[in-house]
A and B are shown apart, each in its own frame.
Chain A
Amino acid sequence: MTTAVHTQGFGKVKPRRRGLAAMLTHHAFRRLTQIGVLIFIVFIAVRHQLVGENGATITASWEAYCPMGGLETLYKFIVTGGKFVSHAHLSNVVVLGAALAVALLARNAFCGWICPFGFIQDTVGSFSAFVQKRAPMLRRAVKTLKTKAARLALLDRYLRFLKYGVLAWTVLGAAAYGFMVFRDFDPWAALWNLLELSLAGGTLVLAVVLIASLFVERPWCRYACPLGAATGLVSLLSPIYLKREANACRECAICTKACPMGLPVHTATTIKSADCVGCLECVDECPREGALELKLGVPVFGN
């Protein structure tokens, strides 16, 4: 069922979805996928914890399904013809291959659709928005904070390069020392180590990321994730991208506000950034028909 559609000189206003149609969105599809992956990883981690390392049955640990492990063991895997650094298995290399295949053909969608740590940050951000809606004082405080932080936009731009440094450290460190140098600082690993009541440097990083997620969407993905940096670079070759039609767009900036990676969607013509996680929140939120669409074209040069 839809409400009346009217035009105001730009693209038609999208009809408002109601009932079942309002629930059957790609946003819901994405959330269900993220929840499904997280439930699977929780099941694997809890089962492994209950069975133990030296039980009669050998169970996979959560790490066996992490593409970060593939990234960290990649050098050793290639130069030794199939050996791994500790904590990594063949499954890590395969899952990394799967994430890179997605990046190559469908942008950096592993981060937006599959990565459970991205989903956790999304959830913390949504919780923050929920609380702010119901607590006007908090909302005003956060708004003031964000207004002041807006002056640091340049800092945000440069901080985004940090993840490429972390990527280099992760890959080259593992290659030089033969073990996972990043693991002790990995917030995702720290989260599961909490199950074993074990604390490392990553626990502090995890705490910082979760607290920052209350104010900035996906801070780990924006600034520090080495896996997102790698898949983001590969995604630059993807034939799929977002296109903003200037004729249909009112530049209301709703898309920019909806972008969890803080990309300036409403001023761009095409969105091919390595930071775009393909979540399509901008497309979902855009009120105009045809103003923002997902396109298939020539990689790199197509517009």
Chain B
Amino acid sequence: MRVNPFIYGILILALFFGVIGGAKAAGVWSVSGKLTASGEKVAPTGANVDEIKGWMTLDEIAAAYKTPVAEILAAFDLPADTPGAAQIKSLESPTFSTANLRAWLRARLGQ
């Protein structure tokens, strides 16, 4: 059966935006980890290391978990002059990641 090229184009757009629109309508959509599902801003509280996200800065983590930035840098062999405003995700390497930091803090705090 022959397919009209215009119908083909409409099918592509309907499929693509239909899946995205359907997901949004069903609440299966989030474009930032900085907001909760109800739209409130997320910030580290120091209560549970699982809340740590890649967009959080070293300063935020240090303040929330009462751990000096220098100690974090030393634990992962990161350069000592790394700014505290650096986001964790910007420092990721095979030896340092958000998951590694969570595990290290968990062990350090005995959580």
Contacts and interface: CB of A to CB of B under 8 A. Distances in A.
Interface of A: 26, 29-30, 33, 53, 58-61, 64-65, 84-87, 89-91, 94-95, 97-99, 101-102, 105-106, 109-110, 113-114, 177-179, 240, 278, 280, 283-284, 293-297
A33 B9 CA distance: 9
Contact of A91 (B4, B29, B41): B29
A89 B23 contact: no
A86 B98 contact: yes
A26 B8 contact: yes
Nearest to A240: B3
B80 to A, nearest CB: 22
Interface in B13-40: 13, 15-20, 23, 28-35
Contacts of A61: 32
A296 B5 CA distance: 12
Contact of A89 (B19, B31, B92, B94): B31
30 contacts: A26-B8, A29-B6, A29-B9, A30-B9, A53-B55, A58-B34, A58-B35, A84-B33, A86-B55, A86-B98, A87-B54, A87-B89, A89-B30, A91-B30, A98-B15, A105-B11, A105-B15, A106-B15, A110-B12, A113-B9, A113-B13, A178-B97, A178-B98, A178-B99, A280-B8, A293-B2, A293-B3, A294-B4, A296-B3, A297-B1
Contacts of A98: 15-20
A33 B5 CA distance: 14
A295 B1 CA distance: 5
B15 A89 contact: no
Nearest to B95: A177
B35 to A, nearest CB: 5
B92 A114 contact: no
Contacts of B12: 33, 102, 106, 109-110, 113-114, 278
B67 interface: no
Given A98-B16, A296-B1, A86 B89 contact: yes
Which among B15, B16, B18 has the greatest number of chain A C-beta atoms within 10 A?
A: B16
A295 B34 CA distance: 46
A86 B54 contact: yes
Decide if the interface of chain A is mainly helix, strand, loop or mixed: helix
A26 B16 contact: no
Given A26-B8, A30-B9, A33-B9, A64 B16 contact: no
B10 to A, nearest CB: 9
B88 interface: yes
A94 B26 CA distance: 12
B99 to A, nearest CB: 5
Contacts of A283: 5
B99 A101 contact: no
A114 B17 CA distance: 11
Given A98-B15, A105-B11, A179-B97, A86 B30 contact: no
A60 B19 contact: no
Contacts of B20: 94-95, 98
Contacts of B19: 94, 97-98, 101
A29 B2 CA distance: 19
Contacts of B87: 53
Contacts of A26: 5-6, 8-9
Nearest to B34: A58
A297 B3 CA distance: 10
Given A58-B32, A98-B15, A106-B11, 16 more contacts: A33-B9, A58-B34, A59-B32, A86-B92, A90-B29, A91-B29, A91-B30, A102-B12, A105-B15, A109-B8, A110-B16, A113-B12, A278-B8, A284-B5, A294-B4, A295-B3
A30 B89 CA distance: 36
Given A64-B31, A296-B3, A97 B15 contact: no
